[in-house]
């Protein structure tokens, strides 16, 4: 299959959602979305590391499994909820490729085990948590269906992007018209072993160019996850599942390198979680 490889466009805007610091991409009709940061906006940051502030009110840790006091995380989630049109649909992420259909979700339901969710309902708020993995927002034709994806290397390899788009097309026929990849670990710092590179190349030899061998290492590589995700989306343009005119954007912000703004598990396993939130309007 011949793939016209288009370079994704970098786009990230700092904004405040009722004093809550957020990062968003370009505005697009029918869609609201953003990624939270490691800052709560409630008080001055006490250090230069979001990892440390994840356990204080200065940070905005949204992960209940991060070791932070649950009361702090729940307060942060309530702070976020007050700025949204509806209760967020949280999912239990497992670095897999399952997709949750959130259209029939109700408050109080058990967490779905999935790494992406979709909806056709106006105002239904989808959310994924990250701390280096890619959050991806996907919008279907006519802004009739929305998908939000948690894509680390495992989920990417297993096909979480393809599965999400397939589920979206099953809900509403019409190619994906917009994509934004939020803050995530950059290609200059994301180290993986030779076995990860080999697994990707086995799935598609074209991925070889997205891995660079580390200097002075024979079995360590730097992986460009954004480039792999972009290649997948461009490949889906060829078969009509992504519109040929679909604009693919990425934040250009590295969660690992920008320690004061983002949580990063690779930088420090004792850290918080960001949230990427999206809803149709």
pLDDT at residue 1 is higher than 70: no
Using CB atoms within 10 A of its CB, is residue 14 exposed (0-12), middle (13-18) or buried (19+)?
Answer: exposed
| pLDDT confidence of residue 217 | 79
pLDDT at residue 4 is higher than 60: no
- Residue 251, domain CATH: 3.60.140.10
pLDDT tens track for 76-134: 999 999 999 999 999 999 999 999 999 999 999 999 999 999 999 999 999 999 999 99
Mean per-residue pLDDT of the chain: 95
| 224 within domain boundaries | no
Comparing CA positions, the residue from 166, 175, 172 lying closest to residue 243 is 175
Parent domain of 269: 13-186+245-280
| pLDDT confidence of residue 3 | 57
pLDDT at residue 253 is higher than 70: yes
Distance CA 235, CA 42 (A): 43
| 25 within domain boundaries | yes
| 199 within domain boundaries | no
| 214 within domain boundaries | no
pLDDT at residue 2 is higher than 60: no
What's the average model confidence in pLDDT over 205-224?
93
Strand partners, 126: 89, 278
| 182 within domain boundaries | yes
CB 86 within 8 A of CB 107: no
What percentage of the chain reaches a pLDDT higher than 70?
97
| 191 within domain boundaries | no
| 180 within domain boundaries | yes
- 104-142 CB burial, b ≥16 within 10 A, e <16: ebeeeeeebebbbbbbbbeebbbbbbbbbbbbbbbbbbe
The least confident of 10-14, 131-135, 147-151, 214-218 is 214-218
pLDDT at residue 7 is higher than 90: no
Residue 96 per-residue DSSP state = S
The total number of structural domains that make up the chain: 1
Report CA torsion sign: 108, 38, 80, 125: negative
pLDDT at residue 5 is higher than 90: no
| 106 within domain boundaries | yes
Residue 231 per-residue DSSP state = H
| pLDDT confidence of residue 59 | 95
Strand partners, 33: 278
pLDDT tens track for 32-62: 999 999 999 987 766 778 999 999 999 999 9
């Amino acid at each position: 299959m011949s793939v016209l490889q288009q370079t994704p466009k970098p786009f990230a805007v700092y904004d405040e959602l009722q004093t809550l610091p957020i990062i968003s991409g370009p505005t697009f009709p029918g869609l609201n979305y953003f990624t939270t940061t490691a800052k709560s906006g409630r008080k001055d940051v006490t250090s230069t590391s979001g990892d440390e502030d994840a356990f204080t009110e200065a940070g905005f840790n949204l992960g209940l499994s991060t070791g932070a006091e649950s009361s702090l995380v729940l307060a942060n989630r309530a702070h976020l909820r007050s700025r949204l049109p509806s209760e967020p649909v949280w999912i239990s992420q497992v670095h897999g490729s399952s997709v949750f259909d959130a259209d029939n979700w109700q408050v109080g339901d058990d967490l779905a085990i999935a790494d992406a969710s979709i909806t056709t309902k106006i105002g239904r708020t989808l959310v994924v948590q990250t701390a280096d993995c890619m959050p991806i927002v996907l919008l279907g034709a006519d802004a009739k269906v929305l998908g939000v994806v948690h894509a680390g290397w495992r989920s990417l390899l297993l096909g979480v992007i393809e599965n999400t788009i397939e589920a979206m097309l099953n809900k509403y026929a019409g190619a994906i018209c917009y994509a934004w990849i939020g803050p995530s670990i950059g290609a200059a710092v994301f180290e993986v072993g030779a076995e990860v590179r080999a697994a990707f190349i086995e799935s598609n030899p074209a991925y070889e160019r997205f891995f660079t061998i580390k200097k002075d290492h024979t079995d360590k590589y730097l992986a460009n996850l954004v480039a792999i995700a972009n290649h997948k989306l461009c490949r889906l343009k060829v078969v009509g599942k992504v519109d040929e005119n679909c604009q693919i954007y990425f934040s250009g912000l590295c969660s690992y390198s920008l320690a004061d703004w983002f949580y990063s598990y690779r930088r420090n396993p004792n850290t918080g979680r960001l949230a990427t939130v999206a809803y149709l309007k």
